[in-house]
Amino acid sequence: MKNRYVDRKLYFNEQSFTTLKYVIPYISDVFPIGKHTKVLEIGCGEGGNLKPFLDLECQCIGIDINKKQIENAVIFYEEHPQKNNIEFIADDIYNIDREDLVFDIIMMRDVIEHIPNQEKFMNYVKKFLKPEGILFFGFPPWQNPFGGHQQVCKSKLSKMPYIHLLPTAWYKKLLIRFGEEPSELLEIKKLGISIERFFSIVKKEKYRVLKYSHYFINPNYEIKFGLKPRKVIIPFRNIPYLRNFYTTAVYCIIKQ
């Protein structure tokens, strides 16, 4: 599983597949996407999620703090026929201050769980939204089997579910024992977000929820493992706290 995090073009293609097949139809159900739609992806990496939007001739911008991934993105899009409609910025989102950067759609897939001070971020990001603009989030609840992103491990820990729920000291010792560098995974443990916390922040920052879904089988698992997406069925979707343990992805669209 860890190969996709080393082979960045493979990861790019997987992101593009899932966004084309599942994310764009999900968004289109509540917000029309067309030639003049302006799309921002925060935490874009190499920009695989933006390719299906660019193929539809949307105006796209990707922002990521990782300079190397942004350099890869520029290379990956060199031959795209719509390359003049996409821009990549290597910077912290809090450093961005351009009046032209207001968008119809802001997209974040597997990103919110990496952002410190999520309340501050959810308030700050409003400055990039048009009055009728929307935000799309896709994220893994922290308590799900691989909510700690341990699949990136180089050892057999990559296949061990729920180990990220161990007390921090125990988890750190386990990672070190198996030869893993613990700093990134411990940071993820610190920032992981639950379903309840996410919607609490949404409510606090006065966003309106347009649509949300809980997935028992993440849509991205189709390209990764050949598994068809499956939503968590009611009433299990509505069981507070417990639902975090069997929900592998939440999709949500909100607006101001």
CATH of the domain at 77: 3.40.50.150
Q: Map residue 238 onto helix, strand or coil.
A: helix
139: which residues sit within 8 A by CB, 6+ positions away? 108, 109, 110, 111, 112, 113, 193, 198, 249, 250
Angle among Cα 115, 133, 43 to the nearest 5 degrees reads 25
211, two tokens = 């649509």
Same-domain check for residues 130 and 214: yes
Q: What string of pLDDT tens digits covers the 256 residues of the chain? A: 445 545 889 999 999 999 999 999 999 999 999 999 999 999 999 999 999 999 999 999 999 999 999 999 999 999 999 999 999 999 999 999 988 999 999 999 999 999 999 999 999 999 999 999 999 999 999 999 999 999 999 999 999 999 999 999 999 999 999 999 999 999 999 999 999 999 999 999 999 999 999 999 999 999 999 999 999 999 999 999 999 999 999 999 999 9
Quote the tokens at residue 14: 């997987």
What pLDDT was estimated at residue 3?
Answer: 53
Strand order in the sheet with 38-42: 86-90, 59-64, 38-42, 103-109, 129-139, 249-255, 208-217, 230-231
Shared domain for 105 and 200, answered yes or no, is: yes
Q: H helices within the chain, ranges in order?
A: 3-6, 8-18, 24-28, 51-55, 67-76, 118-124, 168-177, 182-191, 195-204, 221-225
Instruction: Supply φ then ψ for residue 71, to 5 degrees.
Output: -60, -40
pTM: 0.93
pLDDT at 6: 56
Distance CA 198, CA 216 (A): 18
Is residue 134 located within the same domain as residue 155? no
- Residues 157 and 32 grouped into a single domain: no
Counted domains in the chain: 2
Cα–Cα distance measured from residue 84 to residue 213, given in angstroms and rounded to the nearest whole number: 34
129 Ramachandran zone, left/alpha/beta (phi>0; psi -120 to 50): beta
Q: Do 172 and 132 sit in the same domain of this protein?
A: no
134 and 162 share a domain? no
Q: Are residues 165 and 125 in the same domain?
A: no
Q: Are residues 39 and 136 in the same domain?
A: yes
Q: Are residues 95 and 140 in the same domain?
A: yes
Q: Which domain holds residue 157?
A: 150-189
Nearest to 61 by CA among 75, 77, 40, 44: 40
Per-residue pLDDT at 4: 52
Q: Which residues contact 40 (CB under 8 A, 6 or more apart)?
A: 60, 61, 62, 63, 101, 103, 105, 106, 107, 128
Asked whether residue 200 falls in the same domain as residue 185, the answer is no
| Pair (206, 82) in one structural domain | yes
191 CB neighbour count, 10 Å cutoff: 15
Does residue 223 share a domain with residue 161?
no
